[in-house]
Amino acid sequence: MDIQSIPLFAMLRSRMGYLTQREQVIAQNVANVSTPGFTPQDLKPFAVDKGGAGARPTLVQTNPGHLTGVPSLSGGAGGGAGQGFQAVAAPDSDSTLDGNQVVLEDEMMKMNQTRSDYDAAVGIYQKAMSFLQMAAQEPGKG
């Protein structure tokens, strides 16, 4: 059985791909902190279709160009970490005289939250893997 066929692992993999791409978008915003007229970007929030009881989690496609498949961190078939999620303009709270709308403090808070979310997803992934390994052990061992 392929581990990616388990809905929890597929969703976590997609979430980590989303967070990786969000980190890249935030880094691009920070890199353009001095670019006149630059408007920062961010990704639309990651969404999971809640469905009914026992429903498999699925990604919500809000636009035909979004979320074309479960992102693959390896960049293989099914989309890559840099594919599937669309960056949209997300001006920060202030604007400078040259029209730049990047606020470094806001971007650092976004980066910190993204990193925390990524660490949480990795922790859940690791815990789920340990549960699978424990379930696969012979009874009375370990």
pLDDT grade, residue 77 (50/70/90)? very low
Q: Per the structure, how many domains does the chain have? A: 1
Task: Evaluate whether residue 139 is within a structural domain.
Answer: no
In a domain, 32, yes or no: yes
- Please check whether residue 42 is in contact with residue 110, taking contact to mean a CB–CB distance below 8 angstroms: yes
Confidence check: pLDDT of 27 > 70:
yes
Of 29-38, 39-48, 52-61, minimum mean pLDDT range: 52-61
Does the residue 141 lie in any domain?
Answer: no
With beta carbons less than 8 A apart as the criterion, state whether 60 and 84 touch.
Answer: no
Backbone torsions φ then ψ of 70, nearest 5 degrees: -70, 120
- pLDDT of 67 reads 52
The verdict on residue 129 lying in a domain is yes
23 neighbors 90 (Cβ within 8 angstroms): no
Q: Which domain holds residue 93?
A: 3-134
Please state the φ and ψ torsions of residue 36, each to the nearest 5 degrees: -60, 135
127 in a domain, yes or no?
Answer: yes
Alpha-carbon distance values, 86 to 12, 25, 73, 122 (Å): 19, 10, 16, 23
Confidence of residue 1 (pLDDT cuts 50, 70, 90): low
Confidence band for 82, pLDDT divided at 50, 70 and 90: very low
